[in-house]
Amino acid sequence: MDKAKTKKQYNSNTILLFITIALFIVLYAGGCVAYGSKGFTHFQTFLNILITNAGLICVTCGMTCVMLTGGIDISVGALIAMDCMLLAVGMKNGMGAVPMIIIILLIGAVFGIFQGFLVGYLEIQPFIVSMAGMFFCRGMTAVICTDQVSITQEISPTFYAWANAKIVLPFGGYTNNKGKYMAPYVRPAVIVALLVLVVIFILLRYTKFGRSLYAVGGSEQSAAMMGLNVKMIKMKAYMLSSFLCSIGGICYCLNTMAGSVSQATGLEMDAISSAVIGGTLLTGGVGNVIGSFFGVLINGTISSIVKTNGKLASSWPNILTAMLLFIFIVIQSIFAAIRERKKA
Amino acid sequence: MENNVVLRARGISMTFPGVKALDNVQLTLRKGEIHALMGENGAGKSTLIKCLTGINDFEAGEIHIDGINGTIKNHSTRDAQNVGISTVYQEVNLCPNLSVAENLFIGREPLTKLHTIDRKSYNSRSQKIMDELGISVDVTQNLENYSLAIQQMVAIARAVDMECKVLILDEPTSSLDDEEVEKLFKLMRKLKEKGVGILFVTHFLEQVYAVCDRITVLRNGTFVGEYPISELPRVKLVAAMMGKYLNDLESIHKENKDFTNAPMEISAKGLSHTGTVKPFDLDIHKGEVVGVAGLLGSGRSELARAIYGADKANTGTLEVDGKPVKINQPIDAMNKGMGMLPDDRKAEGIIADLSVRENIILALQAKRGMFKLLSRAKQEEIADRYIDLVQIKTASRETLIKQLSGGNQQKVILARWLATDPDFLILDEPTRGIDIGTKSEIQKLIIKLAGEGKSVLFISSEIEEMLRTSNRMIIMRDGEKVGELDRELSQEGVMHAIAGGEG
């Protein structure tokens, strides 16, 4: 009789997810205690984290899918810059917001198929492929326009309206010191990001494609032996990543309302670190988007705390994120070691 | 086809560059039988299996499968599965990060109306499959939580559930312990009752006699015969597998020479390495083969490592060729004319992605130093000479060493040390895990080297082969040299010495 049968045991990955969620709660609660007087306890603070990071949530969902196969996609930050620049310049030249969005989503998908083809079918290292993709996108952004292009109300009233639309929530408001009721709100980008999250969650858990991502990441050779089309699966993963990145790019642009060459630099690293903090293994096969979502929230909370404090240098979020990453990697390897020992 | 035959292969031939891997081989597998495929390393077992499963493209011959008219030719594992041939390999080809049920159903999951996968349905179906096969697992748990034996059985369950008629088990037991093997056998017998034809490849003779009904023997890529198990006792099976080699082995005899007056090659006094081997004295004459006997962990290898400088000796002195020497690390030993074949050749020996030539010249190059490169022509000359001398079976000297069989890899490493032209050679388990034919060749080579005046320190777990080749044997026990036997070397005498005399 195997030990596993006698006692229902929690998967170590589930425990990792709990740790991530617990950490978020602790961090957030810590923020509330320390900066309650500065308004950290308001529900809107939490919603602001979502608003600021709507784009990152989409990107991290895509990154998680790619990382599940054991790959990586570092082109996402540059792709977002290119998306924003295209949006800004396109609309400035009289294109409508809706056609531009369709074009950008198409570009994302095609770009992803190309990267995925190189990784899946030509079996080139994903790091190299997406690094080339990163240089390409960043370069193209500058080719389109080297100046910062702002999206104003005159350029595109529609896009402007989306960016400034408030979706008011019926709960969680507060009355400010002037006695005025402040209703909590989110932006449309948040709704998009949460939709993406739900869709990818279902995709990963309940569809053939989703499960095959895990299989490929678990053991590529085995997946092939079991009759899965590994090359196609990998290609689709990169397509999904770039496509979700383009959705994220639109959300990002709704926040910044501008296109500029240096936009979203290092965003790919934010996405990777969020996924890792959320329990996704770089080696593939382990992880899920709920964890990644909380990874984004943890990073967002850190920034928010530092911002609320007001006195700390803006480089502090980086240092805190580094420490968190470190802690998580150590925890993960401890779990892996425990698992090995159990087997032996 | 006879009505109880599920698979028949006839006249299968296949050539790898330079090597005829299979020559007119046949195989007949019947319904509900467990059929052993036997042969030494390089006999063509794996090649034949790969032909059946579509990994190799055979040149001539035909394969028939029950229920399909005409011959079949598979081009991928998937093709093979579609005609009902499933294979379970030595390494488990499943995903450890997925649940047992997912591993059974991935790629063919039942779907709900919404086109999402139906977890409930496949979990319950998986549990039923596993219960039927008598494997007690919780199918919702990840595969990595289970032992290798269970994983192996899940792989078999997957194969069986895909309605296979032919199940090929390629050395499935090599990493299992006795209890796990027994579980696997139970499962195999159950499948046999269900009418599956099982082709079982293994190196363990006892296992063949424990479960199989019939044996097909291959030798050197040719078909030797097919026998019911009752008509082929062990001795005959071994003879069928080895052919001429058996007589070969008998014919190895060393001369009984008296070395007491021969010049000394190695003379160690009180050498030791803290924690591994206690101080020992050891004299080895020129042209002498000295065997080191002892149980695993008795300090056999450690004694050799202390001489060679792989573990730096803490005490004692060492004389080579009558002159005192100081050896701090292996390169010092190499410069004094020593060579050592380590026992863990995967970790310390071969460099898989280099060619046979590069692997052979490695030690010689190291001895000469990085900046005195051997010319390509010189390298090729050396490689060819030693490929010929130790009879390495390789397509060419530029073949990657990982493509060679285990026995031939071992010969390459031996060649590497011979190329440095050592006066004193340490061989640590040079024949482990290789077939008897190659073993006898290596033993002959040791005797030949000694005849040329080289000294050999020979470590082996097989007392018999040391008896055949050594002039003298030293006995190790618990890190201590406890005795020396010359004259009247006998298996019994050595065993007694190893065990500790009193008994």
Give the DSSP per-residue string, B320-351.
ETTEEE---SHHHHHHTTEEEE-S-HHHHT--
Q: Which two tokens stand for residue A291?
A: 């964890």
How much is the mean pLDDT over chain B?
82
CA dist B100 to A11, A290, B148, B157, Å? 13, 23, 13, 10
Rounded to whole angstroms, how far apart are CA atoms B389 and A89?
74
Residue A248 lies inside a defined structural domain of this protein: yes
Higher pLDDT, B155 or A60: A60
Q: B284 near B264, Cβ under 8 Å?
A: yes
Give the pLDDT confidence score for residue B359 in this predicted structure: 87
**Mind telling me how many Å the CA of A219 is from chain B's nearest CA?**
5
Q: Which of A142-151, A261-270, B264-273, B290-299 has the lowest mean pLDDT?
A: B290-299
Interchain contact, A206 vs B158, CB within 8 Å? no
Does residue B95 sit at the A interface (CB-CB below 8 Å)?
Answer: yes
Q: Looking at residue A212, what DSSP letter applies?
A: H
In a domain, A43, yes or no: yes
By the 8 A CB rule, do B293 and B477 touch? Answer: no
Banded pLDDT at B33 (limits 50, 70, 90) = very high
At A106 the three-state DSSP class reads helix
């005490």: which residue's tokens? B315
| Residues recorded for chain B | 503
Provide φ and ψ at B169, rounded to 5°: -110, 110
Q: How far is B148 from chain A (nearest CA, A)?
A: 9
* Cβ–Cβ gap B137/A4 under 8 Å: yes
What would the pLDDT profile of B349-361 be if each residue is shown by its tens digit? 778 788 889 888 8
**Between chains, do B97 and A228 touch, taking CB under 8 Å as contact?**
no
> Average pLDDT, stretch B329-348?
79
**Best mutation site among A211, A213, A343 for testing chain B: the one with the most B CBs within 10 Å?**
A211
Residue B148 burial (C-beta neighbours within 10 Å; 0-12, 13-18, 19+): middle
Is residue A279 left, alpha or beta, with left meaning phi > 0 and alpha meaning psi from -120 to 50? Answer: left
Identify which of A253, A247, A54, A264 has the alpha carbon closest to the alpha carbon of residue A151. Answer: A253
Distance between alpha carbon A258 and the CA centroid of its chain, in Å?
Answer: 20
Q: Quickly tell me which residue has 């294979």 as its tokens.
A: B87
Report the mean per-residue pLDDT for chain A.
89
| A181-182 and A174-175 beta bridge pairing | antiparallel
Best probe of the A interface among B90, B104, B106, B121, by most A CBs < 10 A, is: B106
Q: Write out pLDDT tens, residues A216-242.
A: 998 888 888 787 889 999 999 999 999
Mutate one of B145, B151, B164 to test the A interface: name it (highest A CB count within 10 A). Answer: B145
Instruction: List the CATH number of the domain containing A266.
Output: 1.10.3470
CATH of B5-244, one of 3.90.650.10, 3.30.200.20, 3.40.50.300, 3.20.20.70: 3.40.50.300
Number of DSSP helices (H) and strands (E) in chain B, helices first:
18, 19
Mean pLDDT across the stretch B264-286?
86
Contact A227 B81 (CB under 8 A): yes
Question: How far apart, in whole angstroms, are the C-alpha atoms of residue B491 and residue B291?
Answer: 13
- Stretch A47-61: mean pLDDT, rounded? 95
What pLDDT was estimated at residue B372? 78
- Residues on chain B touching A206 (C-beta within 8 angstroms): 116-117, 119
Indicate whether B185 pLDDT > 50. Answer: yes
Partner-chain contact A339 B94, CB within 8 Å: no
How many domains would you assign to chain A? 1
Q: Is the pLDDT of residue B303 over 60?
A: yes
Interface test mutation site (partner B, options A10, A213, A222, A335, max chain B beta carbons within 10 A): A222
- Kindly state whether residue A276 falls inside one of the protein's structural domains: yes
Strand partners, B19: B16
Please report whether residue A4 resides in a domain.
no
Tell me if chain B has a CB within 8 Å of the CB of A221.
Answer: yes
Residue B281: strand, helix, or coil: strand
Residue A10 inside a domain? The answer is no
Asked if the Cβ–Cβ distance from A218 to B119 is below 8 Å, we say: no
- Is A7 inside any structural domain? no
Contact A5 B137 (CB under 8 A): yes
CA distance linking residue B480 with residue B418, whole number of Å: 29
| Domain edges within chain B | 5-244, 245-337+422-503, 346-420
How big is the A-B interface in CB pairs under 8 Å? 86
Q: How far apart are CA A200 and CA A240, in angstroms?
A: 10
Q: Comparing B349 with B220, which gets the higher pLDDT?
A: B220
Question: Which contacts (CB < 8 Å, 24+ apart) does range B332-337 have?
Answer: B333/B307, B333/B308, B333/B309, B334/B363, B334/B366, B334/B367, B334/B420, B334/B422, B335/B367, B337/B421, B337/B422, B337/B423, B337/B424
Tell me whether residue A152 is in a domain. yes
Q: A285 touching B, CB under 8 A?
A: yes
- Whether the CB-CB separation of B240 and B232 falls below 8 Å is answered with yes
Q: At CA A145, angle to CA A144 and CA A146, rounded to 5?
A: 135
Which residue type sits at B178?
D
Instruction: Report the range of poorest mean pLDDT among A244-258, B30-44, B424-438.
Output: B424-438
Burial class of residue A92, CB neighbours in 10 A (0-12, 13-18, 19+): middle
A217/B116 Cβ within 8 A: no
Report how far apart the first and last C-alpha atoms of chain B are (Å, whole number).
62
Residue A128 at interface with chain B, using a CB cutoff of 8 Å: no
DSSP string, B111-157: B-TTSSB-HHHHHHHHHHHHHHTT----TTSBGGGS-HHHHHHHHHH
- Flag whether pLDDT at B347 surpasses 60: no
Name the CATH topology of B245-337+422-503.
Rossmann fold (3.40.50)
- Contact: B141, A9; criterion CB under 8 Å: yes
Among the partner-chain residues A2, A214, A227, the one whose CB lies closest to the CB of B136 is A2
Q: Are B165 and B84 in contact (CB under 8 A)?
A: yes
Mutate to test the interface with A, among B55, B82, B85, B98 (most CBs of A within 10 A): B98
Range of the domain at A294: 19-343
- What are the distances in angstroms from CA A316 to CA A313, A319, A324? 6, 5, 12
**Is residue A9 in some structural domain?**
no
| Residue A2 scores a pLDDT above 60 | no
Select the residue of A207, A222, A228 nearest B94 (Cβ to Cβ). A222
Nearest CA in chain B to A68: B97
Distance between CA atoms of residues B347 and B59, nearest Å:
36
All residues of chain A having their beta carbon less than 8 Å from the beta carbon of residue B96 are 218-219, 285
Q: Residue B502's pLDDT is what?
A: 43
